[in-house]
């Protein structure tokens, strides 16, 4: 997490974040959006991360920017989680990639920075539908994180 | 807490130019999938046993 990351902006709700990927294919706008939802009586935020389509101005996950900055992008998304949970510390954040490969990227990012992340967040992984404290070298299909409770 | 400081970025710029993405079809689809996943598999027990769900945020 002490690696490079992009500077990001947010709006007055602190639910939406934007930053620009900068690489061989130019500057490409990315967005992270947190949506408040409820499942089984428990409130959570869902994290959606994608490329901003400059024609529609909407987020999608279809584009592959190939800007050779994957780790920097993932670090930036992780930094938005840290920032976001300063504003909403009591509500868990759910994250799952759009496909298995992208979920695996999230897992790699968490694994690489677990010691630092765990100073701030409690992180859980779903292993075939069973939640457990996040551990390295376990393949997960989704993640939940919440600010450490004092 | 030296390491924690690395995680806490400088406060981001707050700008009304940052779009609200919450109603984008991609985001709504992701939200439906997340809800379905959590309704099927539930939450970690730590999230279901008496912890407060109060929201100190700005919604």
Q: How does pLDDT run along chain A (150 residues), one tens digit per residue?
A: 445 899 999 999 999 999 999 999 999 999 999 999 999 999 999 999 999 998 999 998 877 778 999 999 999 999 999 999 999 999 999 999 989 999 999 999 999 989 989 999 999 999 999 999 999 999 999 999 999 986
Confirm whether B28 is domain-assigned: yes
Phi, psi of A59 (to 5 degrees): -85, 145
Q: Which residues span the domain enclosing B36?
A: 21-48
Bridge partners (DSSP) of residue B54 are none
Confirm whether B55 is domain-assigned: no
Give chain B's domain count.
1
User: In 3-state terms, what secondary structure has residue A145?
Assistant: strand
Q: Do B35 and A35 touch (CB under 8 A)?
A: no
ipTM: 0.92
Structure pTM? 0.89
Confirm whether B29 is domain-assigned: yes
CA–CA gap between residue A95 and residue A141 (Å, rounded): 9
Confirm whether B14 is domain-assigned: no
Confirm whether B40 is domain-assigned: yes
CA–CA gap between residue A133 and residue A145 (Å, rounded): 10
- Smallest Cβ–Cβ distance between A79 and the set B9, B27, B59 belongs to B9
Length of chain B: 59
- Smallest Cβ–Cβ distance between A60 and the set B3, B17, B26 belongs to B26
Phi, psi of A20 (to 5 degrees): -115, 125
């Amino acid at each position: 997490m002490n690696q490079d990351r992009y500077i990001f902006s947010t709006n007055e709700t602190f639910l939406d974040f934007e930053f620009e990927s900068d690489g061989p294919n130019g500057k490409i706008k990315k967005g992270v959006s947190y949506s408040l939802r409820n499942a089984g009586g428990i409130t959570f935020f869902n994290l959606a991360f994608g490329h901003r389509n400059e024609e529609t101005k909407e987020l999608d996950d279809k584009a592959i920017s190939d800007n050779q900055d994957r780790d920097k992008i993932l670090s930036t998304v992780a930094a938005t989680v840290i920032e976001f949970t300063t504003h909403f510390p009591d509500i868990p954040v759910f994250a799952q990639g759009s496909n298995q490969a992208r979920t695996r990227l999230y897992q790699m990012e968490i694994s690489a920075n677990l010691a630092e992340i765990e100073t701030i967040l409690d992180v859980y992984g779903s292993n075939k539908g069973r939640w457990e404290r996040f551990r390295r070298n376990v393949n997960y299909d989704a993640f939940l994180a919440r600010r450490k409770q004092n | 807490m030296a390491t924690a400081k690395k995680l806490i970025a400088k406060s981001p710029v707050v700008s009304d130019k940052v779009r609200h993405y919450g109603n984008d079809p991609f985001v709504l689809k992701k939200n439906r999938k997340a809800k379905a996943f959590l309704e099927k598999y539930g939450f970690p027990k730590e999230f279901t046993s008496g912890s407060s769900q109060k929201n100190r945020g700005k919604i």
